[in-house]
Amino acid sequence: MGEAILGILLVVVGVLAFLAAGPVGRKLREQHAAAVAKAEAKGKDAPEHATGRMVPTLLRVGGVAGVVIGLITTVGGMAYTQDVGEVKVLRSFTGEVAGVDTTEGLAFKAPWVETVDFDVRNQQAIYKGEGYATSDGEMVNGPEITFQDKDKVTGNADVAIRYSIDPASVGEIYQEYPSQEALTARLIDQDMRSVVRNAFAGYTTAGVLELRGELEQTIREGLEGRWEGTGVIVESVALQGIRYPQSTQDGFAQAQESATSLKKAQADLEVRKAEAEQRKVVAQGEADANRILSESLTPEVLQQQYNETLIEVGKGGNLVVVPDGSTPLIDTGRPGGGSEE
């Protein structure tokens, strides 16, 4: 707005200077004529009239230059450009919102209207360490967030959030926060610390260290609920670091080691149980097979197999001797021999 007003003033001054060139020139010519008459009356040489010609010329030239510069300045103050991802709030000199421009490119506004820029693209807010920019140039919004978990153990967390602004809500946002810096300081920074602390308070120490992804989702849902209807959109939340006192970390490491040992012992026990069960199944199978075989060998079957064996052995003229009390088998296959009992 100031640039446009300056341009208008330059135009006004330039026009006045140009218009004043005529009267000033006439006044100077009249004064020169009077001086010439006075000099002639005294018999002196008439003075030169250089000033009378130069001043009007300077006024005209200066007036034209003022008008040209003023017009350029005014147009420059009225024109503005807008990049993709930007939204401009048009504010009148009374402080009221005269409009909101969400389109990119060149546009014009009234000279008495100012623009307030809002970046609606993805932005990042980081709360880390002592709150200073890192050595690699990473900008930090504030220091790490101190929390107390469900076990009443205190720790510190480095948290980063990505968020964007709904272009259609910029007008309402401006009514509450007159600049993007005010939005960041009064909404983003304050709510981040509050929501993060509330989220950590719902998890035990072990849960904080083991369920980082779930904790990030809890923080995100808390921010979404807090910022519902404000025009601020949560894109992502990342826990970049969680730090407990060294004693707490050592205790957790020991607990993890014990849990790992317990799981290994349980796994070994399950393996041994499975092996024992397998041996039991094999033994049962063998016992069942023996039982079935035993049940199938009746006295008649055994006698039949015995007789068949004797007949097979006696083939070829072999002498077969049987135990006492057994039925004798007559050998009729010996060459030149007779019968024998």
Query: Residue 337's pLDDT is what?
Result: 45
Q: Tell me, yes or no, whether 239 and 267 share the same domain.
A: no
How many structural domains compose the chain? Answer: 3
Determine, yes or no, domain membership for 322: no
Contacts of 193 (CB under 8 A, 6+ apart): 127, 142, 145
- List pLDDT tens digits, range 72-117: 776 667 777 888 888 988 888 777 887 888 888 887 777 778 888 8
Structure tokens that stand for 255 in this block: 């607990």
Range of the domain at 237: 123-244
Amino acid in the structure at residue 121: R
Print the SS3 string covering the chain: CHHHHHHHHHHHHHHHHHHHHHHHHHHHHHHHHHHHHHHHHCCCCCCCCHHHHHHHHHHHHHHHHHHHHHHHHHHHHHEEEECCCEEEEEECCCCCEEEEECCCEEEECCCCCEEEEEECCCEEEEECCCCCCCCCCCCCCECCEEEECCCCCEEEEEEEEEEEECHHHHHHHHHHCCCHHHHHHHHHHHHHHHHHHHHHCCCCHHHHHHCHHHHHHHHHHHHHHHCCCCCEEEEEEEEEEEECCHHHHHHHHHHHHHHHHHHHHHHHHHHHHHHHHHHHHHHHHHHHHHHHHHHHCCHHHHHHHHHHHHHHHHCCCCCCCCCCCCCCCCCCCCCCCCCCC
**The predicted structure's pLDDT at residue 218:** 97
End-of-domain residue from the set 20, 54, 82: 82
Domain co-membership, 167 together with 229: yes
Give the pLDDT score at 190.
94
- Determine contact, residues 313/320, Cβ cutoff 8 Å: yes
Contacts of 22 (CB under 8 A, 6+ apart): 56
Are 138 and 222 contained in the same domain?
yes
Structure tokens at 53: 């010609």
Same domain, 236 and 272: no
- Note whether 240 and 161 are same-domain residues: yes
- Does one domain contain both 224 and 276? no
- 236 and 158 housed in the same domain: yes
Would residue 270 count as lying in a domain?
yes
C-alpha neighbours within 13 Å on the C-beta side of residue 108: 7
**Residue 104, number of CB atoms within 10 A of its CB:** 13
The answer to whether position 326 is within a domain reads: no
Q: What is the pTM of this model?
A: 0.57
| Beta strand pairing call for 123-127 and 232-243 | unpaired
pLDDT value at position 213?
Answer: 94
- Do 292 and 240 share a structural domain? no
Residues 233 and 168: beta-carbon distance below 8 Å: no
Q: Which pLDDT score is estimated for 104?
A: 82
Same domain, 279 and 209: no
Instruction: Answer yes or no: is 99 within a domain.
Output: no
The answer to whether position 288 is within a domain reads yes
Low-confidence ranges of the chain (pLDDT < 50): 332, 334, 336-341
Let me know whether 181 and 151 are in one domain: yes
